[in-house]
Amino acid sequence: MRTLKYTISLSILVVCFAASAQEAKKDFVPSEIIFASDVIGLGKTLFSDETKLEFHSKIDFHHYFLAGDFGVDKINLSGEGFDYHSEGTFFRIGPHINMMPYNKHRSSIFFGLMYARSSFNDRMDYSQSDSGWGGGQISYTNDNLKARWFEANMGINVKVVGPLYLGYTIRFKFSKSLSDTGELLPFEIPGFGQAAKGSQFGFNYYVIYKLRFRDKPVPKRPIKVSPREDRDKQEPTGR
């Protein structure tokens, strides 16, 4: 029920924005492609044993974008008597809507819904000590696991200089589905997070480059006329 409430609220927000912008001149010819890289994952890749690389791109159509993400995720966990390894890739795709289309710097606040899918393998090696029954090493593996989920995204992109922007995206991930596993329950799903959770939030901070290939004027904000002003314009003035 909570997931349904979030989805309905965000959908109402999008419908209200679309209704307020319906009078603006529509230009669906693409004018720019956005390329971005998540700096949080890049930092983890450079300064830890994990590999978390995520790249984002989207192309504009009027006030809308077709967005796509691709990522690589590898983790290594170890503790007393065990080693856990997981690696895989993921992608997301879906529409975004620019809720601040009249900004002269082309900064934006956006909302989006995305479909996500992940493919990965994981392995657990467990060392069993000799307790009278003999010792040894036990391994559990999962090969070619598949997972899918949906996301509601909200984010901000702000111009720094020229085509360089900075921005972040908040993700609500829900309706997760995981393929059948063996005796080993995966600890983490690439792109989603902890496998034991059915829904969760995520956060990305991006360095963004906008490649513009067409001069697309910033649309003017529609001027709202009150019903009384509209009536006064239509009625002839007496002498």
Give me 37's structure tokens.
Answer: 């890289």
pLDDT in tens, 86-101: 999 999 999 999 999 9
Is residue 169's pLDDT more than 90? yes
pLDDT digits (tens, 9 = 90+) for 117-131: 999 999 999 887 655
The answer, yes or no, to whether residue 21 has pLDDT greater than 80, is no
pLDDT-based confidence at residue 184 (cuts at 50, 70, 90): confident
Query: Model pTM?
Result: 0.81
Shortest CA distance to 3 belongs to which of 206, 149, 158? 149
CA distances 177 to 6, 46, 145, 146, 196, Å, are: 19, 31, 11, 8, 11
What is the band of 135 on the pLDDT scale with cuts at 50, 70, 90?
low
For residue 235, what pLDDT is reported?
59
DSSP H helical ranges for the chain? 2-20, 39-47, 227-234
Token couple for 13: 């927000």
Amino acid identity of residue 4, one-letter, is L
Q: Is the pLDDT of residue 8 over 80?
A: no
Domains annotated on the chain, with CATH: 27-221 (2.40.160.20)
For residue 223, name the pLDDT band (cuts at 50, 70, 90).
Answer: confident
**What local confidence, expressed as pLDDT, does residue 227 receive?**
62
